[in-house]
Amino acid sequence: MSEPRIAAIVYDRTDPVDTVLAGFAERLAAHGRRVAGLVDADPAPDACITREMALRDLSTGAVTSICQDLGANARGCRIDPRGLAEAGALLRAGLAARPDCVIVNKFGKMEADGLGLADEIGHCVAEGVPLVIGVPRRFLDAWNAFAGGLDTPLACDAAALDAWWTDTAAEPAGR
């Protein structure tokens, strides 16, 4: 295994992380890089509050809902475990295609609890594929425990992400 190359985009609620990640994926693809992973299907700034949450697979363009309808008065977590499992299968399939970079929209509560896409994220690292992942500041402690210091924390900024790619991940992973 080559040295892990992980960019952790640390962000707050008001940061445009979804736009930064989707734009990075587009720039890599425009330069002939093979990109796999999952980004928000609708990266509007208030999307997580105003609509159903869905992820777009970067390899196929498939959109998978990860939100379940709990009813009008429900107050619990709306994440749909079945939808997240489908997204995980798409991520594993994308990784099997040996991409140059994998992008994962978020290390959230499910991943902090060792669920969600935690296994797939670990598999990316084990395969030596450069990984870019959004990390909400509220889950930074859990992320740090998960990543074990193998990541490079970055601001939620396209220029910072592009510089990371140029400096540490410009060459395809040696797999």
d(CA 94, CA 58): 8
Give me the residue spans of the domains in the chain.
6-168
The model's pLDDT over 28-46, given as tens digits with 9 standing for 90+, comes to 999 999 999 999 987 554 4
Regarding the domain delimited by 6-168, which CATH topology (the fold level of the hierarchy) does it fall under?
A: Rossmann fold (3.40.50)
Q: Which residues contact 144 (CB under 8 A, 6 or more apart)?
A: none
Query: pTM (2 decimals)?
Result: 0.85
d(CA 171, CA 167): 10
Whether 82 contacts 18, CB under 8 Å:
no
The model's pLDDT over 106-152, given as tens digits with 9 standing for 90+, comes to 999 889 999 889 999 999 888 889 999 999 999 999 999 999 999 99
d(CA 52, CA 47): 8
